[in-house]
Amino acid sequence: MDGPLLVAYASSHGSTREVAEAICTPLQEAGLRAHLRPAMDVHDLDGYDAVVLGAPLYMGRWHRHAHAFLRRNHRELAGRPLAVFALGPLHDDEKEWSDARAQLDAAVARHGVEAQVVEVFGGRVDPSQLHFPFSKMPAGDARDWDAIAAWGEALPERLGLRELPVLV
């Protein structure tokens, strides 16, 4: 495959968009034609060879725009490599991370699609962007930028996309 790759994201406050950008950049630097777009703006997958979809988990639910994306495109996704990610956990708590992964797996399975690559990253809370009572939450950012970049760099191989020459 050497066609474009879609990196679609759902984001209410910008955190997931930032992560999607950090995933898209190494793909582009590796020579792939990776297009970054909000999930709500993607109505078909014509011309894309593979898809990466990311969205936050809010209170145990994956963002509604990610669900709408999968609902609209589930037939087209059957013939394309798919990677999904979610942002969620704010603490270094094993149960919080395993619960987030189970929630993401259930959200994807609900649409009858199969993702070849699935990952959960830490989330971010900025109380100044939230309404009461969530505006009273403590601020936190558990995003691991090194892990996010490494995941993005590994996607071409993990999705079975064409091998690119190594530039020295």
Predicted confidence band at 89 (pLDDT cuts at 50, 70, 90)? confident
Q: Residue range 37-65: average pLDDT?
A: 93
Mean pLDDT computed over every residue of the chain: 86
- pLDDT value, residue 141: 74
| CATH assignment, 5-158 | 3.40.50.360
Q: Where are the domains of the chain?
A: 5-158
DSSP state of 112: T
Cβ within 8 Å of residue 157, ≥6 positions away = 163
- pLDDT value, residue 150: 94
pTM: 0.88
Dihedral Cα 105, 123, 10, 84, nearest 10 deg = -30
Tokens of residue 89, six digits: 């956990």
- pLDDT value, residue 128: 61
